[in-house]
Homo-oligomer: A and B are copies of this chain.
Amino acid sequence: MVTRSARDQDRDQDQLFAALANATRREVLRLLRDRGPQPVQALADHFAMRRPSLSEHLKVLREAGLVSEERRGRQRIYRLEAAPLAEVQDWLHPYERFWREKLKGLGDLLDRMPEDEA
């Protein structure tokens, strides 16, 4: 997967951002980050929804590459896989100077003279 078509990349990024566009799934990631790998039931205890619904959220996270599972007996230990988040940061990077300039209050400068350094 050294090179991907632009469509594949779009699909991956759609999937990644969509996976993050849900408070339950973001909370799962936070739990795995703060408390380490856990089985499904331990995660499910933190939410009001039924366990099968959480299973579906875990599937979305798995397909986005944000978690992995390891089978241990009858449990499945879920673990945070942060690598895709590095792609989010990469995507974010070209925008960084825009919000930094805005915060400094001189944000209109570049708006007036575009595409000179694009």
Contacts and interface: CB of A to CB of B under 8 A. Distances in A.
Interface of A: 10, 13-14, 16-18, 20-23, 26, 29-30, 33-37, 79-83, 85-86, 88-89, 91-92, 94-96, 98-99, 102-103, 110-115, 118
Contact of A82 (B80, B102, B115): B102
10 contacts: A10-B26, A13-B23, A13-B26, A14-B21, A18-B18, A33-B118, A35-B115, A80-B95, A82-B95, A82-B98
A66 B118 CA distance: 20
Number of this chain's copies in the assembly equals 2
Which 6 residue pairs of A and B lie closest in terms of their CB atoms, listed nearest first? A36-B114, A17-B21, A82-B98, A34-B118, A10-B23, A82-B99
Contacts of A96: 82, 85, 89
B23 A115 contact: no
